[in-house]
Each structure stands twice: as C-alpha cells, then as structure tokens.
Amino acid sequence: MKRKGSITVFLSLSLASVLLLFFLLLDLSRIYGQKQKADVISDIAAHSVFADYNRYLWDNYRILGVDASYGTGGGADFSMMESRMQEYLLKNGMSTDTKGREFFQLAAEKCEVTQYGFITDDNGRSFLKQAAKQQKFEVAQAALEKALDRNRETEEAAEESENVDELIEKGGEAMTESESVEVEEIPEGMEKPAEDEVNPIDQIKEWKDNGILSQVLPSSAKISDKKVDLSEAVSKRTLARGNCAASEKLSAVERALFAEYEKTHFSNYRNDLGHDGLSYEWEYVICGEDTDKGNLSGVVTRLLGIREAANFVSLMADEAKVAQADTHALTLAGWTGNAAIVNAVFFGLIASWAYMESVLDVRLLLSGGKVSVMKSPAEWTTTDLLTLPQWFDVNKKAKEGANGITYEGFLLTMSALQTEKTLGLRSLDLLENSARLQGDYGNLRMDQVVVNAEFSYQYSSEPAFFSLFALSDQRFPALKLLRTREMTYLSD
C-alpha cells in the first residue's frame, strides 16, 4: 500500500531559511573572493605596466622609466598604456563579461591613468632623486660622509679667496702705471729696474694667451672632437608636464649622492664608459657646451680657478714665499714711492705664482694624479718666483699629494656648486641624446618618460545566487568594485 509523502509548513519554511542562509553565505564568500581577486589583479596590471621600462636607460645609466609614447615619439599616449593594462588584466583571469562559470568571475569595465609624472618634471627632480637612490645602494656611508667633508673644504677654499686672475691683471696695470710715474726723488736705497729685470707678471700674462688646453695638455694628448646638436635638447625646449604634485627639493645628502652617481655612471676625460654621444658627459653637465673640447676647456678653466684660490691662500700663509714676492715687488716698483702701486704689484706677483702652480696641479690631475686641497710648503713645486717660465713645458707637473684629491674628486666639487635645475636638465640631455642614437630608441623624448603614476580600475559582477530568491522579475544590481594603485620608481 502506497503512502503519500507530506511535509509540514514549519519544515518547509525551515528548509527555505537554511537554503537562503547557505546561498547568502556562499554569495558573500564569492564577493570576498572577488575583492581579493580585484586587489591582486590590479597589482599585477600596475606592476606589469611599470615593468615595461626603457632597457637602454637602465642598462647604461641605471634609471627606470616607461616611454609613454611606446616608441612613436608623438607624445605620451595613455590610451595605449590603458590598453596594455587591459591586456594584462585579461591574461591574469579577468573577463570582458560579467557572466560566466568561473566562481569569482569579474569583468573589467574601466582602467585609467588618472595621474602621472614625467622624469623631466620640476627640472628633472625625479631623475635626480632616482639617481641618488640608486647610488645609495652603491656607496658606503663612510665614503658619503668623506665626500661631504671634501666638498665643504674645497668650496670654502674657493669662496674665501679673491679672484686671482683679476689680481694678475691689476698687477700688470700697476707695472704699466709705474712706467709713466714721474718722481722728483727716488726713495733712498731704491732704483729703477733694469730693462731686462725679470717680471713674472708679464711672463704669465703673455703665456696665458696661448689657450687654456695648450697650457695643460701635450700636443700628443687625444681630445675628443665629438659634437651634438642642442637646439632641441631637454634643457632647451618646452617640456610636457605631468599632473602629479611636485616632490620635495633635494637634500644635501641627495645632492652628494647624485654627484657620486655622476662619477660612476657618466663618462669623463679620465674614464670613458663607452656611451654613445658625447665622451665627456660629466664635463657637459658642468659646462653645457655642444662639443667635448669646449666642455673640457670649461672644466679646466674652473679647475684652474679652484686651484688658484687655494694656492693663493697657501702662498699668503708661507712667510718665505711672501718675502720673495715682497722683495721683488719693491725691486720692480719700489722706486715710485707709491704704496698703492707696490701693493698691486705684490699681489700680482703672488697671483702669478699661484697661477703657475695651479697649471702644474691641473696637469697632474689630468694625468691621473692627486693634489691636496691646501698645499703645505713641502708639497709646493715652484719654489722660486723668478724662474716660473721653466715650468711652461707641458710635460712638467706638480708634486703628487699622497692624501690629495683626483680629477674626479674636483668634478664632484664642481657638481656640488651647480643648481638643481642645471644638474637635472643637462643630465637628461645626455640620456636622451645617447638613447636616441640607438636604432630602437630613435624617437625617445625624456618628457614622455613616466616615473610615477596612479591607475584607477572598475570591476563588475552579476550576483550568482541572490537572484534565486528574488520575489519579482527585478534584477539584483551588479557588484561594482573600484581600485586605485599608485606606482613609482622613487620609493625605497
């Protein structure tokens, strides 16, 4: 005998409630998983875009940046960057459809670049900070502190002294003036100098007219003849700008680190790294000329100025050498009885002596030697004021300073004296010019290279189980997930 099954209203309601709770928990767990998936895939897409950095800049200069024009040179194309992000989303489990059999199905409705910063923004500050950060991993703390101390010492030596070249000129003018002076009576013990009396001021002035490089380098020295067109260089043209907030100015430590970066990653007269473009890259950042020869000449001129200032101070602190100059000043101009003329001649002699010693210093530095910032009497090379012409021979150099500074060390000091704008934009001139000489990067423009950005994503998904319990034909609203990701090459 068959029996009919039955179920109570209470049990029916109970089972319905249990099923409702079960599917509710199942959909909530699905939503939680979708949120996790949105987080992970947003990270993957953002990191994938920033992994597409310019290989040449990294391999040669250790600088990271994404060419937002993707090789076209036609301006930053963020639609292309967004399209690539969409591809990365699809490759990593995202869909273009809100429906599907995958439990954590999500559709990418939107991915946008909402903020971006170029490496040229704020006069290349992003580049300077990235370079300093890169160098931080390569330079020991002790070496950094030593570099800071050395820069302060050299800067003080340059700032505390007078313009030595100006003193030479004034000394020459004083000698010319003395020739036209008429005196009723020559002071006792004085007499006019003989026509063949040695005049170091005139000797140095005449020799200086030969040109700066001919004074410090032998004719056999090989000087690069490379030249670049700067008419459209980063530092000369109007640059595209990002829409990110400006970063903080470089700290003293970051400036010192960047100078060390230049030493390691830029070619100079003493160290050719084989980069395309100018051979004397570091010298270009300092001088900004369009030829290697012009930049080397500019650096040598600055180097002479630094050495003249330091040597002038050293001379004035040496009583024996001061006595030599004082005696000869009286010999040349004492007969005039004019203290102002004698004083000008005295300082002209000291300046001429300092100049000759400085030329010997620069010769030593260019050949790879070391020179002390402030020389002791034992380190001095030109001991006799009246025999300076014997040192005109370009093969003669100053004495080596055991604890001195190299050519690169003095370049570090020159970099420390430059403005942040000059350092940033001229350095980017070099990077752009060098990269554009490569076939694959011929259209690269540094004001299209992105170094930080903010990405915005929107995902959606239809509910999987809520619709089972709808009491009408009205659909449950789709799930919307918004995500933002900030990417930068500047963070530690």
* Same-domain check for residues 254 and 277: yes
Distance of alpha carbon 138 from alpha carbon 179, whole angstroms: 61
Res 91: pLDDT: 78
Do 141 and 198 lie in a common domain? yes
The residue out of 395, 412, 434 marking a domain boundary is 434
> Mind listing the pLDDT tens digit for each residue in 341-388?
888 889 999 999 999 999 999 999 999 999 998 999 999 999 999 999
The arithmetic mean of pLDDT across residues 425-451, rounded, is: 93
The rounded distance, in Å, linking the Cα atoms of 150 and 226 is 32
Which residues have CB under 8 Å from 196's CB, separation 6+?
none
Alpha-carbon span 398 to 364, nearest angstrom: 6
Residues 92 and 131 grouped into a single domain? no
Over residues 79-107, the mean pLDDT reads 74
Q: How far is CA 39 from CA 34, 90, 114, 163, 455, in A?
A: 9, 14, 18, 63, 12
Give the dihedral sign, CA 146/150/156/159: negative
In-domain check, residue 349: yes
Task: Based on the fold, state whether residues 152 and 295 are members of the same structural domain.
Answer: yes
Helix (H, G, I), strand (E, B) or coil at 452: strand
Residue 1 lies in a domain: no
**Residue 380 pLDDT:** 94
**Are residue 301 and residue 325 in the same domain, yes or no?**
yes
Structure confidence at residue 306 (pLDDT) = 92
Tell me what pLDDT residue 269 has. Answer: 96
On the 0-12 / 13-18 / 19+ scale of CB atoms within 10 A, 384 is: exposed
From 393, 408, 434, the end of a domain falls on: 434
User: Average of pLDDT values for 134-142?
Assistant: 73
pLDDT at 108: 81
Same-domain status, 411 and 275: yes
Residue 248 lies in a domain: yes
Domain count, the chain: 2
Does residue 381 share a domain with residue 468? no
> What is the spatial distance between Cα 393 and Cα 379, in angstroms, rounded to a whole number?
20
| pLDDT tier, 154 (very low <50, low <70, confident <90, very high otherwise) | low
**Do the domain assignments include residue 254?**
yes
254: containing domain: 124-434
Average pLDDT over residues 33-60: 90
Is residue 29 domain-resident?
yes
Instruction: Write down the pLDDT at residue 156.
Output: 57
> For 199-254, how does the pLDDT look when each residue is reduced to its tens digit (9 = 90+)?
888 899 899 888 899 999 998 899 999 999 999 999 999 999 998 888 889 988 89
Is 3 among the domain residues? no
Mean pLDDT of 188-197: 65
Q: Tell me the pLDDT band of 402, cut-offs 50, 70 and 90.
A: confident
Nearest Cα neighbor of 177 from 338, 352, 328 is 338
Mean per-residue pLDDT of the chain: 84
Question: What are 67's two structure tokens?
Answer: 């060419």
CA 431 to CA 428: how far, in whole Å?
5
Helix (H) or strand (E) run with residue 449 in it: strand 449-461
What's residue 401's pLDDT? 85
Are 387 and 481 in a shared domain?
no
Confidence category of residue 57, pLDDT binned at 50, 70, 90: very high
**2 lies in a domain?**
no
Looking at the structure, tell me whether residues 41 and 173 fall in a common domain. no
- The pLDDT value recorded for residue 161 is 45
Indicate whether 347 and 400 sit together in one domain. yes
Boundary of a domain, candidates 434, 464, 479: 434
* CA triple 315-317-321, angle to 5 deg: 50
Instruction: Give the residue-averaged pLDDT of 48-75.
Output: 91
- Residues 256, 392: one domain? yes
The answer to whether residues 338 and 416 belong to one domain is: yes
Helix then strand then coil, in percent of the chain rounded to 5, is 55, 10, 35
* Cβ contacts of 75 within 8 Å, gap of 6 or more: 69, 240, 448
pLDDT: which is higher, 72 or 426: 426
pLDDT band of 151, cuts 50, 70, 90? low
222 within some domain: yes
Spatial separation of the C-alpha atoms in residues 259 and 132, rounded to whole Å: 8
